[in-house]
Amino acid sequence: MYHGIYMRVGIIGASGFLGNAISAGLNREGFTVIPFSRSQKEGWRVWNESPDLSGLDAIINLAGQPIDTRWSDDYKKVLVSSRVDQTQQLVNALEKMKPENRPSTLINTSGVALYGSHESHIFDESSAAVPSFLGDLCLDWEAEAKKAEALGIRVVFPRLGLVFGKEGSAWKRMLSVFKLGLGGPLGSGQQWMPWVHLEDVVGLYIHAIKTSEVQGPMNAVAPEPCRNITLTKALGQLLKRPTVLPAPTWALRIVLGEFAEVVLGSQNIAPKKATESGYAFKYPAIKEALADLI
């Protein structure tokens, strides 16, 4: 059980896939979780224009609508509003608090999309951002959260890749396709995939709360790189199913629109800050991660 400075943790987006897992992990570690909801729920605080942030030692912001779908112009506005605008609302609420009552730490979720795509380059937290819709969204999201630093709050941005967890939509979709024997590489299959097991996401968020020297961007991805074809073959072997039906690039672009570039992009990303600050991954390699999930 953890008996450090940070004991009461508020979670915005506590009812989602990540929120449920992180809440459970914090409870196991001895923290008290204060979840927020837009509607009245017993034991939850209401998230509104003036949320009650009193008595919190840290805040985790997981708010944001899913990106793994086709983006219309209207849905792009939803993606921005649910991340940037909501984070701005959070920082505004923190600014209104007396300095001595503010939480010490803000863990504000971000994404690896800002690094862009490259076949051979290895990205770490010092790598420059590449302009794109998602990349710009992540930068704007982080910029809003970073304003909390002027209030004396330590801010960490866990940059998430593809999260594999039994209750996650990405994993459920993938598993159903492969069980039918219809799984195969996406496009060429040679692209690097920035993946992470859900248990390590939980561990990384808790590590960010506990570890005072962690600040700014922190890549929340597994340390052992994996190409799409490697994941495809490993999952097929574990399920004893064929993996000979590739999803053509042109078909993915028709079905997914702009989101296809995320699926087809190549990102070899190193979790440098996490490992250098002492985090030990439970599932560093893709085969062990997939075996656990199956």
Query: Which tokens sit at 11?
Result: 């979670």
pLDDT for residue 256: 55
pLDDT for residue 1: 40
Query: Which tokens sit at 140?
Result: 């704007």
* Distance separating alpha carbons of residues 171 and 183, to the nearest angstrom: 13
pLDDT for residue 243: 77
Query: Per-residue pLDDT tens for 140-166?
Result: 999 999 999 999 999 999 999 889 898
Architecture of domain 8-293: 3-Layer(aba) Sandwich (3.40)
Burial class for 236, CB neighbours closer than 10 Å (0-12, 13-18, 19+): middle
* Distance separating alpha carbons of residues 109 and 220, to the nearest angstrom: 10
Q: What is the 3-state secondary structure (H, E, C) of 129-161?
A: CCCCHHHHHHHHHHHHHHHHHHHCCEEEEEEEC
Residue type, 282: K
| pTM, two decimal places | 0.91
pLDDT for residue 260: 58
- 214 contacts: CB under 8 Å, gap ≥ 6: 156, 207, 208, 273, 274, 277
pLDDT for residue 53: 95
Burial class for 101, CB neighbours closer than 10 Å (0-12, 13-18, 19+): exposed
* Distance separating alpha carbons of residues 59 and 45, to the nearest angstrom: 13
* Distance separating alpha carbons of residues 5 and 150, to the nearest angstrom: 21
Residue pointed to by tokens 């075996």: 291
Torsion of CA 272, 277, 279, 284, to 10 degrees: 20
Distance linking the first and last C-alpha atoms of the chain: 29
Question: How many Cβ atoms sit within 10 Å of the Cβ of residue 205?
Answer: 26
Residue pointed to by tokens 């940070």: 6
Residue pointed to by tokens 């790189």: 225
Write out the chain's pLDDT in tens, 294 residues.
444 555 999 999 998 899 999 999 999 999 999 999 888 888 899 998 889 999 999 999 998 887 777 778 898 899 998 899 999 999 999 999 999 999 999 999 999 989 987 888 999 999 998 888 888 999 999 999 999 999 999 999 999 988 989 888 778 877 887 787 777 777 788 888 899 999 999 999 999 999 999 999 999 999 998 988 888 888 888 888 877 776 656 555 655 566 656 666 778 999 999 999 999 999 999 999 989 988
